[in-house]
Structure 1
Amino acid sequence: MFLENLGVDAMDPLRLGRFWEAALGTISLTVEPDILETRLDLDGTAYLDLCFVQVPASNEAPLRLHLALRGGAQQAEVIERLRGLGASDLDSDQDEQPGIVLADVEGRAFRVLEERVEPAGTGPLAALLLDSAAPERDAEFWAWLSGWVPAPGVPAHTLRHPSRRGPRLELVPEREPKRPDAKNPIHLDVRLEPGDDPDEIAAEIERRGGREMHPDWGELPWRVHQDPSGNEFCVLPAPAVAP
């Protein structure tokens, strides 16, 4: 089982996906009118896919998973390049998280970090900031679920891919509890591997404080869950084994 996808609700997947491809330098996997999938390489073998999926109406729920881009000494130049791609400025005085806040082409907030808060080797996507009611607890949950490991020397309750490459997953204190009727506009997906039992995984998620959801979204090839703080994520089936 491993962390595979960043799922993003989009009104126009092609426009939003192309913005993020240009921002991060990722490579297209699937390009259809209702979905764009693009791959962020972590270390030559591991990856994180960004999946922009069309939704019937704009998701205005509070954002609980924020993207933070590497800025560093070139923060000002990075911001100008993002503005040229269609990003716009937002007020960054509304929270205490680091970085300059921008909005992507669908108006969703993200931030560009300064040099002092960036560890080495993140690549263009420096961090994923996930709201949590109990960051220490949820860091343990996501370490088990994702296969990512604690990252010493960066903010507390932070995980990274075992290669120590790619973005950090930071569990940050939530400003307000998750609204039960509000689906996260951005969520994480994990992929089962051959030999993983989906029922055993679901039972372990429950034991660790999460829960399985049964949304009325029709037949799905994956299972939908929430972490202990109510953040949705999907558990995708293991790839078919070639005969």
Structure 2
Amino acid sequence: MPLSLPDPHILLILCPLVFLGSFVDAIAGGGGLITLPAYLLCGLPAHLAIGTNKMSSMVGTAFSCGRFVRSGYVDWGLAVPAAACSLAASVGGARLSMLLPEERFRVVLMVLLPVVAALTLRRRALLPATEEMPRGRRRAVMCCVALACGVYDGFYGPGTGTFLILGLSAFARLGVTDCAGQTKVINLASNVSGFATLALAGQSWIALGAVASAFSVAGHLLGAGMVMRGGSRVVRPIILLVLAILFAKTALEMAGLA
């Protein structure tokens, strides 16, 4: 775990991208497709990048989650059991990721990045309003969705918020507003456990994560609750550009050319 303060040039690259990714994440999820590549572009090893990204994402998500709670969009009877499942599953996912050597994990990232980007950017329309479903059944379905997304969040992370929203809408039949509220609580739980697991293993740069967290909070606070018509026309090209740069950088490093 690095104990030194980050170089200024790292902050100049990282902080604006963390702010942008957090802003996107608060609105529609998928901000990790910007923030994690930002850490990797700064030269952090894959496991350390994921652990540090978990820290700034956790802090920013906590603030946007608070806004949803204050606005009354969280049903605690549904959110708490799902969050508990997500928390436990994220620990398993984080431990699984640390079993892979750095070289192999970079190969996994090369495969996951374009797949996750494609799934996230092709998100389907959400239900406008919550549909009728027995409460016990809805709680069980939400726990299943949270378990699956929690494992993924602990192992990798980017796109988890979007996957949760899509899963809760498709299977738990929640409307878009209810999806957003429950998703923030569930995602926060998986972020906390994933970060704790990686940090205890020395895979988090606390000083860098603390600075990035301030920009994450600003992005989440600005984006939470905002309705951006046609926002995807701006967000999608930015995500694709960052992913393309990261993909090229990783490919060159694996080929020994960078």
What range is the shorter-chain TM-score in? under 0.3
Structure number with the higher strand fraction is 1
Structure number with the higher helix fraction is 2
The two structures have a TM-score, normalised by structure 1, of 0.24
Q: Which structure is richer in relative contact order (CA contacts within 8 A, separation 6 or more)? A: 2
